């Protein structure tokens, strides 16, 4: 059974930093592309970024609003993906979901999400 468990969310002041992690199990992590999606309170889904598997170069891509501030990394030895968020803004407040594509779409399975609140 595929499981994705996010952690690291919380309250942070504008301009601050936060690191989210996602622990994965139930599939071959090293073969998977991992994606972060966020959802602001009462709003729709917004793609944040993605990291490809090492065999595809481990390339990262980011949405325009977070490019240059957020960084995605992966540790295949621990089956974990991380989202480092710097220079946080109030508009980054959202539930952040970790997801994985396993050959059907980019986001076949989703974690339960972790809430990030950026406020002074």
Partner 1 sequence: DIVMTQSPDSLAVSLGERATIKCKSSQSVLHTSVNREYLGWYQQKPGQPPKLLIYWASTRESGVPDRFSGSGSGTDFTLSISSLQAEDVAVYYCQQYLSTPPAFGQGTKVEIK
Q: How far is the CB of 90 from partner 1 (least distance, A)?
A: 21
Give the C-alpha separation, 12 to 46, whole Å.
20
CB closer to partner 1 out of 15 and 26:
26
Q: How far is the CB of 7 from partner 1 (least distance, A)?
A: 15
Q: How far is the CB of 46 from partner 1 (least distance, A)?
A: 7
Q: How far is the CB of 106 from partner 1 (least distance, A)?
A: 4
CB closer to partner 1 out of 82 and 107:
107
As given in the structure block, the two tokens for residue 14 are: 């504008």
Measured over the CA atoms of residue 70, residue 86, residue 97 and residue 82, the dihedral's sign is positive
Residue 32's closest CA among 72, 79, 70? 79
Residue 97's closest CA among 16, 5, 1, 25? 5
CB closer to partner 1 out of 64 and 120:
64
Give the C-alpha separation, 57 to 119, whole Å.
36
Residues found near partner 1 in the complex (CB under 8 A): 35, 37, 44-47, 50, 61, 63-64, 97, 101, 104-113
CB closer to partner 1 out of 55 and 103:
103
Strand 80-85 versus strand 10-12 pairing type: unpaired
């Amino acid at each position: 059974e595929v499981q994705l468990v996010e952690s690291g969310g919380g309250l942070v002041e504008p301009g601050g930093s936060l690191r989210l992690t996602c622990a994965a199990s139930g599939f071959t992590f090293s073969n998977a592309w991992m994606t972060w999606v966020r959802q602001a309170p009462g709003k729709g889904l917004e793609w944040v970024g993605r990291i490809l598997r090492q065999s595809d170069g481990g390339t990262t891509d980011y949405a325009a609003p977070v490019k240059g501030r957020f960084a995605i990394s992966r540790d295949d030895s621990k089956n974990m993906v991380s989202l480092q968020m710097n220079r946080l803004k109030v508009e980054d407040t959202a539930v952040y979901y970790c997801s994985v594509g396993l050959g059907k779409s980019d986001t076949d399975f989703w974690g339960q999400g972790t809430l990030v609140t950026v406020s002074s």
